[in-house]
Structure 1
Amino acid sequence: MKMTAPILLLLASWPLVATAEISFSCKQLHGEFYSEGAAIGDLNGDGKPDVVAGPFWWEGPAFEKKHAYYEPKVFDINGYSDNFFAYVHDLNGDGKNDILILGFPGKEARLYLNPGTHDDKPWPMHIVADVVDNESPVFTDITGDGKPEIVCSTGGKFGWFAPNWDKPTEKWSFVAVTDDMKVAKFTHGLGVGDVNGDGKLDLLEARRWWQNTGINFSNNRGPEVPSPFNQHNFAAGVGGGAQMFAYDFDGNGTNDVFTSLSAHRYGVAVYLQNKPAPDQPTWRQVMLASEQPQDNDYGIVFSQPHAAHLEDINGDGVMDIVVGKRYWAHNGHDPDERGARVIYWYETKRDGKGGVDFVPHLVDAASGVGVDVQTGDVNGDGLPDIVTANKGGVFILTQVRSEATARTPVKMYGPALMPQKDYAHGQSAQEAIKTMQLPAGFTAEVIAAEPDIVQPIAFTFDERGRIWVIEGNSYPKPRETGAGQDRILILEDKDGDGSFETKKVFCEGINLASGIELGFGGVWVGAAPYLMFIPDKDHDDKPDPVVQDEKTFIQVPGLNFTAYALLDGWGSQDTHETLNSFIWGPDGWLYGCHGVFTHSLVGKPGTPDDQRIGINAGVWRYHPVRHEFEVFAEGTSNPWGLDYDQHGEFFVTACVIPHLYHIVPGGRYQRQAGQHFNPNT
């Protein structure tokens, strides 16, 4: 089971009124692929919401007991299921909620009638539509008669399937609202809403909205459309991706449009109506997520936004947006397919003057969406929760409210903290992740553990998504030359299931390795006293032999493979404060950290001591082409974490108080101990 637990955040001690912090706790119902949609509804008549996904439904609010309502079949994640969308509704009027399933695009709609018994026997099934096209159909009341229809496309036309409510198990009739637009079955993006404010619900699709021209209820055959809806464009060139919504986000009295720009690439946006215009609104695009972080206000980047929903998450009376990344849609061929399986909720914050901000909050990073995401109060606490299903399983994300907020001062010292004597130890990997206290929206899962990997001290990713990891078996004491016990492993998740099950050894025999990065045709390794480079220009996962034009570099002694000593003089007086945390900076230099109780005099091999550069706490960098070394910033304590943000600003985390630093070039920072090299600092 994947779990999310809240953690307190520390910001400035501002004298502000606290409001509840919202986080989500993730419960995974199973990890198999049956469907890419889920729904919420009371199926056993106990007044409590249940969850349905694929062939199963789970009894709420515990969601431990499940029932099958048709014969289960597990699907390969490299293919597709026969269950894309699920809806719960009493379709035959017997007082029991039934289940409506829309299968693969271009396939049938199946109605499962609730028998009222829960003995895992198959429910009676009726095919109510032979071909339901579109990858974002909607089950909603578009006609205004108080009864829902399947809004979709079929036969190249947009429209809806509606039943004869006296005989709902018979084939439903399709009502077309457009001429034959040659709409393909795998078209993305669809929704329903009153775009122009005339009180009638319009149809939204990818880059157009179809104005409702009126619906006729004057006969016994159900609602009919006397004439096609009128076409209006609002988003030229948009491919479409998810469920679409018309809603007045900015509060100016006109409905705006939410949409995903591309189901299998990037882009989430709201199109704001600039001014009231009954038939021809004008629009302004506001990006919420994009391929490049600079293209939206909060730098949110994720691909495949294939499912979305509107819900008032924080209870302020204004609808917010829930949207996420679809998992493994095209079997590893979409951009960032292996990226974090995120779900965000965007808080709609109106300024009261016609302006609006969409503030992103991470719900979870290890679940994601399928082709649909639903919300509802699953545990009866009055707060909306999130339910989703995809190729990774079924997930319930339950909302949690906490008094500690980003605007509330929280003490980081004193009796509220867990004493070190209470820290867990001696646990297995699986036990350890259950003990971890994680920030809201985060989960931890084991991808490799002993005995497959021992004492991992540093790792990095290559362009193929593989993990290159150092096993620090020499630690805590340097070994004699030639007796190093560290090795570099390559871990690979070949089947895309999240477990890195394939392992190979790149090299072994390194002495006290502590940092690793890839680039420029090889592997960069920190192993005091050396910063070394191990060439692998042919990418065969083996160190290359020495070549003529590289003989100017000195070979690291004691190794039986090619490793060039680019720099030496790195100290190891305190072996847990050696060079570490390698990362390529935005300027192309290799950056790293260095601790306070290890004293280094760094230079190229053979450089006299008086020409070397000293460092005993700080951040350093090395140019991979010019082979220049610099101290980037001095100070901190025992830093073992280095990264930069979208603006190129560096941040360091340290193991000893203080714990977090914003690093600027040439900066001098508080030290845990000792004196800066410049005595006047």
Structure 2
Amino acid sequence: MVTRFSRGVCLLAVLWLGGTVAAYAEQTSSLQWTMKVLTVDSNEGLDLADFNGNGLLDVVAGRNWYAAPDFVPRPVRTIEDWNGYVQSNGDYAYDVDGDGLIDVIAGSFVPTEVYWYKNPGPELLMQGKMWERHLLVDTETSFNEGQLLYDLDGDGVPEWIVNSWRKNVPMHVWKFTTEQREVTIQEGNKERTEVREVPSMRKIVISEEGNGHGIAVGDINNDGRVDILVGTGWYEAPESDPMAGNWKFHQDWDMQGSIPMIVRDLDGDGRNDLIWSRAHDFGLYWWQQLPPGEDGKLRFKEHLIDDQWSQPHCLHMADLDGDGQEELITGKRVFAHNGRDPGAFDPPCLYYYKWHPDKLEFTRHEINVGDAGGGLQIRTGDLNGNGRLDVAVAGKSGTYIFFNQGFADSPDAN
């Protein structure tokens, strides 16, 4: 493989047993894509859900939502611009208040509050009504790189898992609950207040220190429990209630990883591997997990996937070609640090990578080069009803849908 240049990672307790460089090539048998531009602004997050209840997947991206099948923008919220960014680091579609309508949860880079935006219902949605903003919690924690919604305790309700780019920031998880709170009620031209039970979150302390750029959830030590991985190591889930704390921290690496990283058993040996990237540099990798060392610590062999383009900030996996095996999807986060990252002025790009288990390597396939990057979130879903998974991205190059047209020689390609 032609590599840009060698880049190592500081592995502390993890033993690095050399890096095999997997050969990749642009393949002629690639899926075909058509592009739709939804908007151009600095928003970098998005999600997919059926917001108006018509059975079609819509898009929410920052200030607007886009109703399928035409994807015309309608307002959700206002967002403050901030130093080349917007003060939002992701959109998460979730029915917060249990009324059957999908709402939106959003966090921010610097502000400490987490808000949810109430879906006003199909009729008001189509009239362009703004969504009411409600406070879920003030986390009192800033420097937020991103977050995940994931059910850590298996109760069917996801937790809000926050990642910080600062290594010494506490590692907290937030669990949905309700609380009594004084709220303002608008009645015509008048307002009144009353106490109501409203959605909220309570803090679960994983650790008071130990975070860092990059996050994943998955069973990295293969004990059947879901662990949390961050930029400076991983938290081992306790045998008892994970919401009771007592997570053991293993400071096994030091990286500026992607949001998210991905835990998967790629080679089929029963041990989970790790796919990660240098979010603000060149380099996309997978770590092949080896048998533990005599000291019981995890060991990995590093494989390079690609280092020809920079800032692969977000990773996503989905079965794009319908063969039952997921592809890796990622792209350049355009101007992630406002032009200060290596390769910042290279063209935007978005790729998918096909996994070949017989060769233990990925091959790269182009979705788009020159228009769109990967932003902070990548989502997949059938957005035009043709049975194929499409790709939606948002970033400083714009918010886009790439419609999956299948292979060029497919009988139903369009």
TM-score, reference length from structure 1: 0.50
CA offset at residue 207 of structure 1? 4.2
Picking from 159, 179, 204, the partner of 1:175 is: 204
Q: Is 1:243 aligned with 2:260?
A: yes
Give the corresponding residue for 1:190: 215
- Contact persistence 1:157–1:179 (CA under 8 A): yes
Listed as ranges, the gaps of 5+ residues in structure 2 are: 1-27, 181-196
Distance 1:153 1:39 in 2: 18
- What SS does the aligned partner of 2:155 have? coil
Instruction: Give the counterpart letter for 2:272 in structure 1.
Output: N
Q: Is 1:29 aligned with 2:29?
A: no
Give the corresponding residue for 2:362: 358
Picking from 149, 160, 164, the partner of 2:173 is: 160
Picking from 229, 235, 259, the partner of 1:204 is: 229
Q: Is 1:126 aligned with 2:125?
A: no
Instruction: Give the counterpart letter for 1:391 in structure 2.
Output: K
- What SS does the aligned partner of 1:214 have? coil
Give the corresponding residue for 2:100: 95
Give the corresponding residue for 2:54: 46
For residues 336-391 of structure 1, what are the alpha-carbon distances to aligned partners after superposition, in whole Å with 9 as ceiling and x for unaligned? 2121111111111111xxx5211111111120022222222222222222111111
- What SS does the aligned partner of 2:177 have? coil
Distance 1:279 1:383 in 2: 43
Picking from 330, 336, 348, the partner of 2:355 is: 348
Give the corresponding residue for 1:224: 243
- Contact persistence 2:391–2:403 (CA under 8 A): yes
Distance 1:303 1:341 in 2: 9
Give the corresponding residue for 2:301: 284
Instruction: Give the counterpart letter for 1:26 in structure 2.
Output: M
CA offset at residue 318 of structure 1? 2.4
CA offset at residue 105 of structure 1? 4.2
| Higher RCO (CA 8 Å, separation ≥ 6 residues) | 2
CA shift in 2, pair 1:267/1:317, >3 Å: same
Counterparts of 1:485-524 in structure 2, within 5 Å, are none
- Contact persistence 1:241–1:260 (CA under 8 A): yes
Give the corresponding residue for 2:187: none
For residues 594-625 of structure 1, what are the alpha-carbon distances to aligned partners after superposition, in whole Å with 9 as ceiling and x for unaligned? xxxxxxxxxxxxxxxxxxxxxxxxxxxxxxxx
CA offset at residue 201 of structure 1? 0.8
Distance 2:323 2:110 in 1: 37
Distance 1:224 1:237 in 2: 26
Distance 2:163 2:41 in 1: 30
- Contact persistence 1:206–1:259 (CA under 8 A): no
Distance 1:23 1:207 in 2: 38
Give the corresponding residue for 1:336: 343
* Richer in strand (by share): 2
For residues 147-172 of structure 1, what are the alpha-carbon distances to aligned partners after superposition, in whole Å with 9 as ceiling and x for unaligned? 11111157822131111168884431
The count of aligned residue pairs is: 358
- Contact persistence 2:32–2:408 (CA under 8 A): no
- What SS does the aligned partner of 2:207 have? coil
Instruction: Give the counterpart letter for 1:358 in structure 2.
Output: F
- What SS does the aligned partner of 2:84 have? coil
Matched-pair identity in %: 30
CA shift in 2, pair 1:241/1:387, >3 Å: same
Listed as ranges, the gaps of 5+ residues in structure 1 are: 1-18, 217-222, 291-300, 406-681
Q: Is 1:145 aligned with 2:152?
A: no
Greater CA radius of gyration, 1 or 2?
1
- What SS does the aligned partner of 1:306 have? strand
Picking from 392, 395, 399, the partner of 1:390 is: 395
TM-score, reference length from structure 2: 0.80
Distance 2:224 2:282 in 1: 33
- Contact persistence 2:179–2:199 (CA under 8 A): no
Distance 1:260 1:403 in 2: 30
Distance 2:101 2:397 in 1: 30
Give the corresponding residue for 2:84: 79
Name the Cα RMSD after superposition: 2.6
- Contact persistence 2:64–2:76 (CA under 8 A): yes
Distance 1:21 1:320 in 2: 12
Distance 1:322 1:255 in 2: 19
